[in-house]
Chains A and B, each alone.
Chain A
Amino acid sequence: MKHTLSPQRYLILFAVMLTASVGDTLLSRGMSQVGAVDLHHLGLLLHALTNLNVIAGILLLIGFFASYTTALSWADLTFVMPATAFGYVVIALLSRFWLHEYLSPYRWAGIVLIVCAVGFVANGPSRTEHPSDHPELDLMDSGVGR
């Protein structure tokens, strides 16, 4: 296992954390402005696409999927997962400091636990090295070409 994350890669993990939570929050805000959608009013879904909050939410969620898949190209799934879980913390903090909602002691305890989990994993190696990740080394080990 190795642990060599460049600042650019930390930036991508940061994007994973922020885009999903802020995107979900914007979608939720936008859909509450659009109103309830049911089978008899499906046209409202098209109308929702003209709402700025919904548009921004969709763009952020596309950004989330792009940054998430990029992170998985150089890090383990079990390394990237806490970054996505940190989104819950971002949502809770946004609701406390932006929407001025009340956070119970249970929720603060939940935030502390998730932050600790991210800290555990972030201090460890980002990727498990398999022999097949370096076919050229496998070839050398096999003795071919000696």
Chain B
Amino acid sequence: MSPHVFHQWSAILFVVVLAITGECLIAAGMRGLGDLDRLRTRSGLLGYLGPVRAVLSNPLFLTGALCMALNFFAMLYTLSIVELSLAAPAIASLTYIGNTVAAKLFLDENVDRRRWLAALFVCAGVVLLAK
């Protein structure tokens, strides 16, 4: 593998790791808060202040959002050194599979055969859409 190709794939993997970390932290934070409807204190628009305050004061959510912000800038950098036709499907597919594995390992989700199959179908679908 040439240094240039290694550099490209390192950038892609960095974006993927940031996305997986961010999404898992946000998912863990939101799971911890539970159904947001239960946090509404009153009806109407003002009732949403409670859930918004709870979300914005959740450390897991905030760390996850920070990772997603970093992911955005890392993605911009990656798109400047890797062609979109390679970067987009590679990042989308690897993030999808990585999220499924991370959800099983760290969020303790019941990833059954149906969800694994869905992950594989989405990855194949994304690759075909990018052709």
Contacts and interface: CB of A to CB of B under 8 A. Distances in A.
Given A69-B26, A120-B115, A74 B129 contact: no
Interface stretch (A15-23, A42-50, A106-114): A106-114
Interface string A55-74: 00000000000000110111
A94 interface: no
A88 B129 contact: yes
A88 B35 CA distance: 28
| SS class, residues of chain B in contact with chain A | helix
Contacts of B128: 106-107, 109-110, 113
A81 interface: yes
A116 B104 CA distance: 22
A77 B129 contact: no
B125 A110 contact: yes
Given A121-B115, A128-B109, A72 B27 contact: yes
Contacts of B103: 76-78
Interface string A78-90: 1101100100100
B100 A78 contact: yes
B86 interface: no
Interface residues of B, number: 39
**How extensive is the interface on chain A, given as a class?**
35 or more
A121 B118 contact: yes
B55 A77 contact: no
A128 to B, nearest CB: 4
A123 B61 CA distance: 28
Contact of B108 (A72, A74, A104, A130): A130
Interface of B: 23-24, 26-27, 30-31, 33-36, 55, 61, 92, 96, 99-100, 103-104, 107-112, 114-115, 117-119, 121-122, 124-131
Interface of A: 1, 69-70, 72-74, 76-79, 81-82, 85, 88, 92, 104, 106-107, 109-114, 116-118, 120-121, 123-125, 128, 130, 133
13 contacts: A69-B61, A78-B103, A82-B118, A82-B122, A85-B122, A92-B129, A106-B131, A107-B129, A107-B131, A113-B125, A114-B122, A114-B126, A120-B117
